[in-house]
A and B are shown apart, each in its own frame.
Chain A
């Protein structure tokens, strides 16, 4: 079968339609993840959200904003291992749902060799793209500075032109490497660059497919927000949680359990649906480019 970008872009919806139970499992994985996060960092998180909200309304000094930025970055670093593991488990599950649909136990969720390989590949690709970005933007900066020494305006022009080219190159590279996770799951080997030969001459269709998947994921998120809005509003919304700033996680759970439960459920549902809509098209692209049968 030939690869059709618009057909592949809809693969996420097909996964949701054919494997609704799997989406439920992915939602539960997110519930678990959010539960662990809230259990570990519930207090600091609500305090930080309240401080950010207060900053938006009352205006904050540069030092306060910097402090908030540092504390949120710190929290992000602490969450990173958990996020990486969840990302690997869920993206491998989506790939499995498309490529090996018969292995449907536990909603395609596993914690084994595939997940470890996906984790390794994801980290490798992150490092590669980060390194290329640093080199490209570094080069842009140096050349813009050189041009600036000749003519200040020319420096701006060079920065804009090379900046656009750099962004284009990074997008191109990301698209060329975008089939790495499906390849890793399908071929059960660590092959971060095996995506390169497979995507040769297919950059524009794959980019179009990724844009379509991104837009659909955004629309799904909006739809979930709209549908869940009455429930969120009834329990006071995210701002309701901010009233508990400065209290411990146990205290928050004791006094605001409905808010936490609704918040976790809505975000879990949103996360699971977005996961399917956003990641499944890449596995479908791999399957169709390889000419694999639709099971």
Chain B
């Protein structure tokens, strides 16, 4: 019987984590929130310089100078953000693979699993991107070659070609989407295995990814609505008013002080949702890969640490 995966189980995986491990998700999200807060705090001098400027030209100049000064710091923070995303992705993957067992480090590690997942993600992205550039250049060439035989023909062919490239790029992306999860599960680079696993499941994977995206959008809207409700409710609840003129930081200081506690309260939904978003990115594909590797729907998967399968457990497809 051909191995398959359950769309229901895959989609339910991030919700299972949310129900069973809300604290883990909160901490993962809090790590990301801390970085976001650090990035914004780096930008405070930038905004302060603009607010304190005498004229519009001075404000632009001050903004440019501060932007340049902050460039290195912002780049460093962005890199750190990618690192945290990687660590939380693998943590969410591990937690999905060990549904009945907790972990005192909340499944957070910084080891070879992370190296392998990072390398597979970056490598796959670079390969996909290069292929896309080559295909786009070919499309430009085909369009240019056909241009003299008639604009309508050239435009028609290029549009058809473009749609073909779009379909091919989505197909390619889906086909490689199980490489990182398989590498995490098998504890080695699993390019061939991940590629083979996706074969014959492209429509299911497409559906899974579309549904994940829809759930992500709904989750994000709900999070912003909740955070907005907390902030707006607190603003009006305290009877605050927006200052008519803002010439210096002193003008908004009372407002900032009054809103600090409500802003801190929003950290809770923001952190849980950010943690859940990482689970949403990782859990469905990890669970799908696990079930495909096992050859049966994963009713009772074991903790990843104990059950890393040997090389020959890949089922023939």
Contacts and interface: CB of A to CB of B under 8 A. Distances in A.
Interface of A: 6, 9, 13, 57, 151-161, 163-164, 208, 211-212, 215-216, 218-219, 222-223, 225-226, 229, 232-233, 237-239
A215 B123 contact: yes
B72 A153 contact: no
B244 interface: no
A260 B268 CA distance: 43
B115 A216 contact: yes
B141 A219 contact: no
Given A6-B188, A229-B72, A157 B123 contact: no
B73 A153 contact: no
Contact of A160 (B80, B118, B137): B137
B213 interface: no
Contact of B145 (A13, A156, A232): A156
A236 to B, nearest CB: 10
B145 A225 contact: no
14 contacts: A6-B191, A57-B68, A153-B154, A154-B144, A156-B140, A156-B141, A161-B138, A211-B123, A212-B123, A212-B189, A222-B79, A226-B79, A233-B73, A239-B72
A157 B145 contact: yes
Contacts of A212: 119, 123, 189
Contacts of B144: 152-157
Interface residues of B, number: 33
A9 B183 CA distance: 15
Contacts of A225: 76, 79
A285 B101 CA distance: 40
A251 B217 CA distance: 57
Given A233-B72, A233-B76, A208 B191 contact: yes
A233 B144 CA distance: 49
Contacts of A156: 140-141, 144-145
A66 to B, nearest CB: 24
A10 to B, nearest CB: 8
Nearest to A216: B119
B72 A164 contact: no
A32 B68 CA distance: 31
B145 A57 contact: no
B146 interface: yes
Given A208-B191, A237-B72, 9 more contacts: A57-B68, A156-B140, A157-B138, A212-B119, A219-B118, A219-B119, A219-B122, A223-B83, A232-B72
B8 interface: no
Which 8 A-B pairs rank lowest in CB-CB distance, beginning with the nearest? A153-B144, A157-B141, A160-B141, A6-B189, A156-B144, A229-B76, A153-B145, A157-B145
Interface string B124-165: 001100000010011011111111100000100000000000
A43 B68 CA distance: 23
Contact of B137 (A13, A158, A164, A222): A164
Given A160-B137, A215-B126, A57 B64 contact: yes
Contacts of A158: 141
Contacts of A223: 83
A160 B191 contact: no
Contact of B141 (A13, A159, A229, A233): A159
A151 B145 contact: yes
A161 B126 CA distance: 20
A222 B85 CA distance: 14
Contact of A215 (B122, B137, B140, B147): B122
Contact of B76 (A151, A154, A226): A226
Nearest to A151: B148
